[in-house]
Amino acid sequence: MVMNKGTGQLIGYARVSTGDQEARLQLDALTVAGCSRIFTDLASGKNIDRPELAAALDYLRPGDTLCVWKLDRFARSLIDLVATVDALTARGIGFKVLTGALASIDPNTPDGRLMLQVVGAMAEFERSLIRDRTRAGLEAAKAQGRVGGRPKAMTPDMLAAAQRRRAAGESYGEIAKALGVGKGTVHRALAAE
C-alpha cells in the first residue's frame, strides 16, 4: 500500500510480539526501503500500550510517510487500522506497506480504501479464528485431564520435606537451598498449605 503525500522522510515502524521473535527481517526491509528512522516495539498486537508507535506518530510531519513491513505488524484491528490511516491522511502523512496484500494499494482512492478495509477485516477474522482454535484446544486438553502452564516447582515429596524442615525450625532460605528451589517458591508452597 502506498500513500505518499509529499517528499518528506520515510519513517519506519516495526513490531515483534515477544522477546523470542527477531525484528531483524523487518528492520532490514525498512532500511532497504529507505527509512531514515525506524521505531521498534516489543508488544503483542492486542496491546494498546505501544510507546514506539506513539513516538513514531508524534515524530511524523506533513509530507512524511509511515512505512511498515506488513500490515499485521501495525494495526490491532480493522477499526484501529482505518482510524490510524485516516488520522495520518488528515495530517498530510503518507502510509506505505512493504509486503503483503496491500503493498501496492493507495488508500486515497475508493478502490484502495475498499481493499484496505477488506484486507484489514480478513486479518482480524484470521486472528479471531486463531483465538477460537486456541481456546477450543485448551478446553479439549482440559477435558482430557491435561492442564497447560508451567509445571509446579515443588513436587508433593518436596512439599512434605519442606514442611518437616520448617517445623524443625529451618529458615525458608535454608529449605530452598536444600531443595534446589527459590525461597519464594518455598514460601508460597508452605503458605498454600
Range name among 27-31, 43-47, 170-174 with the lowest pLDDT average: 43-47
Residue where the block lists cell 503518507: 94
**What distance lies between CA 78 and its chain's CA centroid?**
16
Q: What integer pLDDT is reported at residue 46 of this predicted model?
A: 62
pLDDT top residue among 150 and 26: 26
What is the pLDDT confidence band of residue 20, given thresholds at 50, 70 and 90?
A: low
What is the pLDDT confidence band of residue 65, given thresholds at 50, 70 and 90?
A: very high
Cα separation, 173 vs 115, in Å, equals: 61
Query: Residue 44, Cβ neighbours under 10 Å: how many?
Result: 14
Cβ neighbours for 185, distance < 8 A, ≥ 6 positions apart: 153, 154, 176
Most confident of 9-13, 75-79, 112-116, 183-187: 9-13
Q: Report yes or no on whether pTM surpasses 0.75.
A: no
Q: What integer pLDDT is reported at residue 58 of this predicted model?
A: 95
What is the pLDDT confidence band of residue 2, given thresholds at 50, 70 and 90?
A: very low
Nearest residue to 170 via CA among 187, 154, 155: 187
What is the pLDDT confidence band of residue 1, given thresholds at 50, 70 and 90?
A: very low
Cα separation, 75 vs 64, in Å, equals: 19
> What is the pLDDT of the chain when averaged over all its residues?
84
The mean per-residue pLDDT over the stretch 183-193 comes to 87
pLDDT one-digit tens code per residue, 152-163 = 888 889 999 999
pLDDT one-digit tens code per residue, 91-133 = 999 888 898 767 777 766 788 778 877 877 777 787 788 889 8
CB 1 within 8 A of CB 112: yes
How far is the first Cα of the chain from the last one, in angstroms, to the nearest whole number? 59
Q: What angle do CA 73, 130, 126 make, to 5 degrees?
A: 60
Long-range contacts of 122-126 (CB under 8 A, 24+ apart): 123/71, 123/72, 123/75, 123/78, 124/77, 124/78
SS3 content of the chain, % helix, strand, coil (to 5): 50, 10, 35
171 classed as catalytic: no
CB 39 within 8 A of CB 59: yes
Cα separation, 24 vs 158, in Å, equals: 44
- The single residue of 17, 36, 104, 128 carrying the catalytic annotation is 17
